Amino acid sequence: MSVAPVPHQGPTIRSLLDGIADECPDQAHLIDPITGETLTYRQTRERAVAVAKVIANKGRMPGEPVAYAFSNSIDGAITILGILYGGYLATAINLVAGSSTIEYVLEHSEANLVIADEEAKGLVEACTSSLENPPVILDLEQFSVAPNTDGLLAEPEADFDGLLMYTSGTTGRPKGVLHTQSSLLSGGENTAQAHQLSSKDRGLCVLPFYHINAFCVSLMGSLVSAGSLVIPPRFSVSSFWEVIWETQCTWFSVVPTQISYLLHNTELPSGDGTGTNYLRFGRSASAPLSPDMHSAFEKRFGIPIIETMGLTETAAQILSNPLPPAVRKIGSPGIAFGNEVMIGDADQIEVPRNEEGEILVRGPNLLREYLKNKEATAKAVTRSGWLKTGDLGRMDADGYVYVTGRLKELIIKGGENIAPREVDEALYSHPDVVEAAAFGVSCDDYGQRVEAGVKLSEGSATTAEDLLEICREKLGAFKCPDRIHLLPELPKGPSGKIQRIHLAGILS
C-alpha cells in the first residue's frame, strides 16, 4: 500500500519524522544490506530521540554545532537525524579531506562535540590533539541501542540552522556552507518531485553522508517521500547489483565515475531477472555525464539514467531530466525542479536562449550563508537572491540546460576559450576509457596548452597516440591535447568527482 508523503507546515525534520512515524509507524525506513536489519519509522524516531537526548545531557543547547565523523551505516543515518531532531547543527566531517582540513573544520565551526565510529575516532583525535580545547568524542556505537535517557528537547523551527558542510576547496581553505532545516527539506523535496518518489520507493545510498548528494538526495529525499533507504558501508563495484536485487531497490544515486566503473567492470546478476521489476531508474549527479558513457550504460544494462545537477550550496538538486516517458536529453542535466534557474551575463541579466552564460539559481533550497564569511556570501549571492554557481551553460527553447564548463577551469589557449568537458567527452568516446580529465598547463607560446589524464580499463592495449587521434578527429588540432597521461588512477574528491585542478598540480 502506498503512503502519501506527510505534509509539513513550517517544515522541520522533527515534524516530518513525527508525522510519518505517527501515521505509518511500521513503514520500513532504513535497511542494512549486510545484516538484513530493517528499521521502521517508529524505530527511527525512537532512536533519533535518544540521540538528541544524549546530546542534550552533554550540555549542548539547540543551535550549537555537533559534528559527525563516520562511514555510512544505519547508526550513522540515525545519528544525523537525531542531531537534527534535537535542533542541533549537524556538522559534516569529510573523512578523506586530510588532517589539516579536519582540524580547520572543527576549529572554524566551533564544534566541541563529535560523534564518530571506531575507525574515524582515532583520526579525529589525531587531528585535534594540538587544539587548545579538543572536542569531546562520543562513540557512534553507543547509539546502536537506544539508551534510557531523560532530558527535555526544545522544539526546532524551520529556520534553525540544520547542516554545516564544507566545500572541498580546490584552492585555499574550504568554505562552510550553512543550511537551515527548511532548505534541507526543500532539497529533498526537489529530488522527490523530479523523480516522483513515494513510500513505495527504496533508494540505494552509496555516497558518503558527509557529501551533500547522500545527505539531501538520499536521506532527505527518502524522508520527505516516506520511502526507505538501503545503506551499505560504501560503494562496491562487485556487490552493487546484488544489493539492488536482494533489497529490491527502485532507484540509486551515483556519480559519473561510478557509472564508468559499473559499465567497465560488472554484469547484471544471473537469474530470472525479477530485479528489473523493481528498479525504476538510476540517477547521475555531482559532475557532467559523458553522453557516450550515458548511452553505453543504458544500452548495456537497460536501465534509464537520469542526469541531474546540484551543488552543496543548493542542498543538492537544482536540475533534473524528467522520468521516462517524458523527454530526456542526453548531455543535459535537465530542467529546473523546485527552484528557478537562469543563464545570465556578467551582470546577472538573462541571456537569450542557446547563448552561453553563467548558471544562476534562486529558490528555498539555497544556503543561508557561508559561515563567518560575509564577503564570500555577498560575492556568491546577489541582492535579488540569485546564487552564482560558477558554471557556464546554455538553455535551449524547452528549458533544458547544457553545462559547458567552469569559469575557473576554462583553458585559455592563444586567447581562445576551451572547455575541458569538450576534451573529456572526446576521450570518453573510446570504450576503454574509464576516467578522463583535461586541464590547462602554462605555456610560453599560447599562455596555456591542453593536457589530459586518462585511466584505461584493465588489459586495454590502447595507447596515448590512439586517444590523441580520436581528439584530433573530434576536436581539431587546436583543441586536441598536446599530451595525454595514462594513469592508474585519477585524484577524486569524497563524492567520486575527479579533481581536475589537483590533477593539473600533480602532472604539471
335: Cα separation from own chain's centroid? 18
| Contacts of 351 by beta carbon, 8 Å cutoff, 6+ apart | 343, 344, 345, 357
**320 vs 101, more confident:** 320
Answer whether residue 447 shows pLDDT above 80.
Answer: no
| pLDDT value of residue 10 | 59
In a domain, 330, yes or no: yes
| pLDDT value of residue 7 | 38
Could you tell me if 310 and 402 lie in one domain?
Answer: yes
Answer whether residue 4 shows pLDDT above 60.
Answer: no
Q: Is 68 helix (H, G, I), strand (E, B) or coil?
A: strand
Q: Strand 202-205 vs strand 387-395: parallel, antiparallel, or unpaired?
A: unpaired
C-alpha to C-alpha distance for 88 and 111, rounded to whole angstroms? 11
Per-residue pLDDT reduced to its tens digit, 25-38: 999 999 999 999 99
Round the CA-based radius of gyration of the chain to a whole number and report it: 23
In a domain, 1, yes or no: no
* Residue 443 burial class via C-beta count within 10 angstroms: exposed 0-12, middle 13-18, buried 19 and up: middle
Bin 158: left if φ > 0, else alpha if -120 < ψ < 50, else beta.
Answer: alpha
**Could you give phi then psi for residue 108, rounded to 5 degrees?**
-70, -40
Residue at a domain's end among 349, 382, 408: 408
Instruction: State the CATH number of the domain containing residue 450.
Output: 3.30.300.30
| pLDDT value of residue 6 | 39
Local confidence band at 9 (pLDDT 50, 70, 90 cut-offs): very low
Cell of 238: 562487485
Answer whether residue 13 shows pLDDT above 70.
Answer: yes
CB atoms within 10 A of CB 65: 22
Could you tell me if 282 and 417 lie in one domain?
Answer: no
Name the nearest CA neighbour of 455 among 236, 260, 254.
Answer: 260
Could you tell me if 369 and 426 lie in one domain?
Answer: no
Could you tell me if 402 and 439 lie in one domain?
Answer: no
C-alpha to C-alpha distance for 136 and 125, rounded to whole angstroms? 9
Could you tell me if 382 and 420 lie in one domain?
Answer: no
Answer whether residue 445 shows pLDDT above 80.
Answer: no
In a domain, 444, yes or no: yes
| pLDDT value of residue 271 | 59
Could you tell me if 438 and 307 lie in one domain?
Answer: no
Local confidence band at 443 (pLDDT 50, 70, 90 cut-offs): confident
| pLDDT value of residue 3 | 37
Integer CA distances (angstroms), 295 to 260, 324, 422, 429, in order: 12, 15, 17, 10
| pLDDT value of residue 356 | 94
**Starting at the edge strand that comes first in sequence, how are the strands of the sheet with 433-443 ordered?**
433-443, 447-456, 483-486
Instruction: State the CATH number of the domain containing residue 312.
Output: 3.40.50.12780
In a domain, 2, yes or no: no
C-alpha to C-alpha distance for 417 and 430, rounded to whole angstroms? 24
Could you tell me if 443 and 353 lie in one domain?
Answer: no
Residue at a domain's end among 375, 408, 441: 408
In a domain, 394, yes or no: yes
Q: Is 323 helix (H, G, I), strand (E, B) or coil?
A: coil
For residue 205, give the H/E element and its range: strand 202-205
Name the least confident of 96-100, 122-126, 348-352, 387-391. Answer: 96-100
Per-residue pLDDT reduced to its tens digit, 104-119: 999 999 999 999 999 9
Could you tell me if 153 and 60 lie in one domain?
Answer: yes
Average pLDDT over all residues of the chain: 90
C-alpha to C-alpha distance for 67 and 211, rounded to whole angstroms? 14
Give the whole-number percent of the chain exceeding pLDDT 70.
Answer: 93
| pLDDT value of residue 152 | 60
Answer whether residue 2 shows pLDDT above 50.
Answer: no
For residue 224, give the H/E element and its range: helix 221-224
In a domain, 4, yes or no: no
**97 vs 202, more confident:** 202
> What is the largest distance, in Å, between two alpha-carbon atoms of the chain?
71
Could you tell me if 375 and 426 lie in one domain?
Answer: no
| pLDDT value of residue 280 | 96
In a domain, 3, yes or no: no
**For the chain, what is the domain count?**
2
Residue at a domain's end among 352, 377, 408: 408
Structural domain of residue 109, as residue ranges? 9-408
Could you tell me if 503 and 404 lie in one domain?
Answer: no
Q: Is 223 helix (H, G, I), strand (E, B) or coil?
A: helix
| pLDDT value of residue 96 | 82
Could you tell me if 214 and 307 lie in one domain?
Answer: yes
Q: Model pTM?
A: 0.86
Provide the residue type at 154 as one letter: A
Answer whether residue 468 shows pLDDT above 80.
Answer: yes
In a domain, 35, yes or no: yes
Answer whether residue 373 shows pLDDT above 90.
Answer: yes
Answer whether residue 396 shows pLDDT above 90.
Answer: yes
Integer CA distances (angstroms), 357 to 60, 352, 388, 392, 416, in order: 46, 10, 11, 6, 16
Task: Report, as an integer, the average pLDDT of 8-26.
Answer: 87
Task: Report, as an integer, the average pLDDT of 149-177.
Answer: 80
Going by the DSSP 8-state scheme, the letter that residue 105 receives in this structure is H
| CA-based end-to-end distance of the chain | 58
Local confidence band at 148 (pLDDT 50, 70, 90 cut-offs): low
| pLDDT value of residue 493 | 76
Using the CB atoms, write b or e for 388-410: b if 16+ within 10 Å.
bbebbbbbeeeebbbbbbbeebb
Answer whether residue 408 shows pLDDT above 80.
Answer: no
Could you tell me if 357 and 474 lie in one domain?
Answer: no
Local confidence band at 272 (pLDDT 50, 70, 90 cut-offs): low
